[in-house]
Chains A and B, each alone.
Chain A
Amino acid sequence: MFGYIRPLRRYSENYLFRAQYCGLCKYFGTQYGQFSRFFLSYDITFLALMISALSEEPFEWQYEHCVAHWFSKRRIKHPTSVEEAVSDVFVVLLGYKLRDEIIDSEGIRSFFAKRIHNYQLKWKGDFSKELEKKLKSSFEELMEIEMNKTPDPDSASNLFGSIMKTLTGEVLMRLELVVDEDFLKFSELLGKWIYLMDAFEDLEKDIKKWHYNPLIFSNKELLLEEDDNAVIVKQITELEKWRLHLVVDHMREYYDRFFKRLGHFSIEINGIIHEAIPVMTDKVLGNSCKSDGNAEKDG
């Protein structure tokens, strides 16, 4: 289980989020095989939760056992057309992640990524294939940015954001929902935030392994002057943290415009946006280590 958007432990949204997570996880298992369940992220779960709230499609709760929970039954959100559409998006994003892994990693990790990538081709439905075609140029552009080691963090993060926006727009259209521009802009900023969170979290690893990270290349003088990696990470975080705080603020601006249109789950989503996301941002920036305990350890 990975991803950045997790509810805080003390809130009711914890239960709802878990039910959505388990519902998606089970659905992936039935659709794409048990192995696919390892790749479900919290971020995709959150996207499904938001689209469910916008669609107001009726659904049912179910109580079921699963591989990870043998003894007690877990409450799950019974899959609807939202989960079907989101799972197609998931396959496209997974393809990108695997390609990234094949390029970045070496040895056994790269070998497994290649195997899963080839196997993953069998999972794709028509909708996923269409989506991938539409996004082909964007993914290629993203890879080019990474190959050229473009120093501006906005180039790569904005592009990843626009990919998220396209994916969300396609899901809304497939579900025949009103394409809400504010929600689309929000999803674009969410993608930007996820990309930057990843860049901040991987700073030390990327310096060590010399992988592309725009935060490193936009502060290259620090690398040229300083030898201690820990000091470099600290300095880059200090210089660049404004960017992450600004994107959270930017996201909230658009969220405030459409949150009244959310049907069910609005209280829970509100808690995630206004409290969990800032806590996770601070956690990644290393400002609030104490908040670690609050983040849900789902599973």
Chain B
Amino acid sequence: MINDPYKVLGVEPGASKKEIKAAYNKMVKKYHPDYYKEKHMKELAEQKMKEINEAYDYLLDNHQHYTKDTGNSKAANEGHRENGGYTDFNHIRRLIQAGRFAEARQLLMQAKIRNAEWSYLMGVVEISHGNYTEGRRLLEQAVRLDPANEEYQKAYQQTMGGTFFSRRAGHARTDAETCCQVCTTLWCLDCCCECSGGDFISCC
């Protein structure tokens, strides 16, 4: 699915069946191809209707996971242990950090659990593969499933701000490089001070 079904129908995540149906009817009235006279517009409206129908079918088929009727969207998040299909997301994270996206995607596809972390990791993999639309949709889904998670929010914001890759690369460099840079600077300062008769760090 290319577009977010919630966005297509204009409903909030966790909407009830009744709300989904009402939104669907509203969309059909708004975009029905019969309302358009021009050939091109008719064609466009047909495409839009196809999208609306797909989103409607998807939301009804997956209704029990995401609705107010069965609790809320966290139900999907907690399916992790209930389904018994353990997935080593830490291993997938390591693969992503090493740039082994194809392997990470393969493991994610095999995972039975599709919780917020799965959506986030899959989103990162899709974006790294150049599938920005799908990656963005998955990151949005991760944020929706776990709104309190800063990592998911940051990834989504960086995607929309066009800094996703530079921030990630910067992040990976910071710890090791900054530490080395500080140590080298201190050592240089100490050497300079000692050469001119002073001492910057007395213990060495």
Q: Which residues of A contact B (CB under 8 A)?
A: 149, 151-154, 157-158, 161, 188-189, 192, 210, 217-218, 220-221, 223-224, 242-250, 252-253, 256
Contacts and interface: CB of A to CB of B under 8 A. Distances in A.
Contact of B130 (A151, A154, A224, A256): A154
Nearest to B127: A246
A294 B40 CA distance: 40
Contact of B44 (A154, A223, A242, A247): A223
A220 B133 contact: no
Interface in B122-164: 127, 130-134, 136, 159-164
A97 to B, nearest CB: 22
Interface of B: 2, 31, 36, 40-41, 43-45, 47-48, 127, 130-134, 136, 159-166, 169
Given A153-B133, A224-B45, 5 more contacts: A189-B130, A242-B161, A246-B132, A246-B165, A252-B166
B130 A158 contact: yes
B165 A253 contact: yes
A161 B129 CA distance: 12
A264 to B, nearest CB: 26
Contacts of B163: 249
8 closest Cβ contacts across the A-B interface? A245-B162, A253-B165, A249-B165, A220-B44, A242-B160, A246-B162, A210-B40, A152-B2
Q: Which of B130, B159, B166 has the most CB of A within 10 A?
A: B130
Contact of A188 (B2, B36, B130, B166): B130
A249 B166 contact: yes
B86 to A, nearest CB: 32
B105 to A, nearest CB: 15
14 contacts: A151-B47, A154-B131, A192-B130, A221-B31, A224-B31, A224-B44, A224-B45, A242-B136, A242-B159, A246-B127, A246-B162, A246-B165, A247-B130, A249-B164
Contacts of A217: 44, 47
Contacts of A245: 161-162
**Interface class of chain B by DSSP:** helix
A161 B130 contact: yes
Given A151-B2, A249-B163, A220 B169 contact: no
B47 A220 contact: yes
Contacts of A248: 162
A221 B48 contact: yes
A256 B132 contact: no
Q: Which of A218, A244, A246, A252 has the most CB of B within 10 A?
A: A246
Contacts of B169: 253, 256
Contacts of A249: 162-166
Nearest to A185: B130
B132 A243 contact: yes
Contacts of B160: 242
B169 to A, nearest CB: 6
Contact of A252 (B44, B48, B165): B165
Contact of A154 (B45, B47, B133, B164): B133
A243 B48 CA distance: 22
A250 B165 contact: yes
A253 B130 CA distance: 13
A220 B48 contact: yes
Contacts of B127: 246
Contacts of B44: 217, 220, 223-224
Nearest to A278: B162
A253 B164 CA distance: 10
A224 B169 CA distance: 41
A223 B48 CA distance: 11
B132 A154 contact: yes
Nearest to B38: A210
Contact of B36 (A152, A224, A246, A252): A224
Nearest to B168: A253
Contacts of B2: 151-152, 218
